Amino acid sequence: MVKGSVKKGNAHRGFWLSGITSGLLSSFLLGWAPILGKFAYQANVTPMTLAALRTVVAAVFLWGVYGLFWRERIFLSWSNILSCMMVGMINGIGSLFYYNGLSRLDASRASLLGNLYPLWVVIFLMASGQPIMRLTLLRLGISLVGAVMVTAPSTLVSVKDFLGVMLMIASAAINGWYMVMGQWVLSDVPAQSGTLYIITGMALTVAVARLMTGMPMSPISVSGWLAIVVLGLTTALARMAMFFSLEKLGGVQTAIIGLTELAVSLTMAFIFLNDRLTLWQWIGAALLLGGSMFARLDVERGAAPPPSFNPMDN
């Protein structure tokens, strides 16, 4: 009995650790989004065009990879495909708000407002009846304080930025709902299969929205295409890692870990955009990372919802 309990405990720890690692990988890749977005805007790519093309690139990349290596993951029931596509549509609408807001704000302020989605995840899940532990709320609070400190030089909002602020807040709320929906869908669908159809639904949504604007697409420079393609590839890989984390940990834990995305964006801006960091920003980044470091303790105390499958079966 003791050996069986130890084996089961080790399997669950490995299960959780794989989810935490995937969440951190997703945060690292998503942390590039505002930097690459600004590079694309500098190349005169419009927000709607960027949102559409980067998601189409992500979808085409995934279909190519799945067609070559994971054909068995393509086949799902029509009901599950429709569920995944619906989650993708929600995420696609959120991305339209995000990239239009990003075009009106500096990268750090946009990152702060866009990364408030864990608050919405907690609100939506609590409204649905899921209990939230005190340690989870404490980690969320620490991470949000860190987020404010990281973006402290840009937190004062001028009147001309109100529309950009509202767009980013709307993006955060929509993305919070999409993560909750994703958690529910992934209880029945493997993360790899779900990623393909969620990204496909997202690509169709933003592509149709771009076409509905009726605006002709201006020629895109080599640097613009480079930013779009890299952003599309990181989007595909980040979403795959995020959905794997959602499958293992649930929406709240994945969302809190996702706040480390801000620290990544800050570091990338320091390296590539020559931004100089204050002591407060470094402390804020440490708090962001600290909030994620307690993820294992949090899930071991039962904060994560029941896993979608039993790791002992693998």
pTM to 2 decimal places: 0.77
10: pLDDT strictly greater than 60: no
Kindly report, residue by residue over 14-70, the tens digit of the pLDDT. 556 777 788 888 888 888 888 888 889 889 898 889 999 999 999 999 999 999 999
Helix, strand, coil percentages, rounded to 5, for the chain: 80, 0, 20
Kindly report, residue by residue over 217-235, the tens digit of the pLDDT. 788 899 999 999 999 999 9
Kindly report, residue by residue over 251-284, the tens digit of the pLDDT. 667 777 777 777 777 777 677 766 666 777 677 7
The 3-state secondary structure of 21-32 reads HHHHHHHHHHCC
**Whole-angstrom Cα distance, residue 33 to residue 55?**
12
3-class secondary structure, 273: coil
Question: What pLDDT is attached to residue 82?
Answer: 94
Q: How far is CA 53 from the centre of its chain?
A: 18
Report percent pLDDT > 90 for the chain.
22
Other CB atoms within 10 A of residue 310 CB: 12
Give the up-direction half-sphere exposure of residue 102: CA atoms within 13 A in the CB hemisphere.
29
Question: What pLDDT is attached to residue 277?
Answer: 63
User: Rounded mean pLDDT of the chain?
Assistant: 77
Residues in CB range of 183: below 8 A, 6 or more apart: 246, 250, 251, 305
- Counting Cβ atoms within 10 Å, is residue 231 exposed (0-12), middle (13-18) or buried (19+)? buried
Question: What pLDDT is attached to residue 120?
Answer: 75
**Whole-angstrom Cα distance, residue 27 to residue 42?**
24
Contact 181, 138 (CB under 8 A): no
Four-point Cα dihedral 286, 38, 254, 9, nearest 10: -70
**Whole-angstrom Cα distance, residue 257 to residue 24?**
6
**Whole-angstrom Cα distance, residue 246 to residue 142?**
21
Contact 168, 220 (CB under 8 A): no
Ordered by start, the domain boundaries in the chain are 21-307
Take residue 51 and report the two structure tokens written for it. Answer: 């949102």
What confidence category does residue 289 fall into, taking pLDDT thresholds of 50, 70 and 90? Answer: low
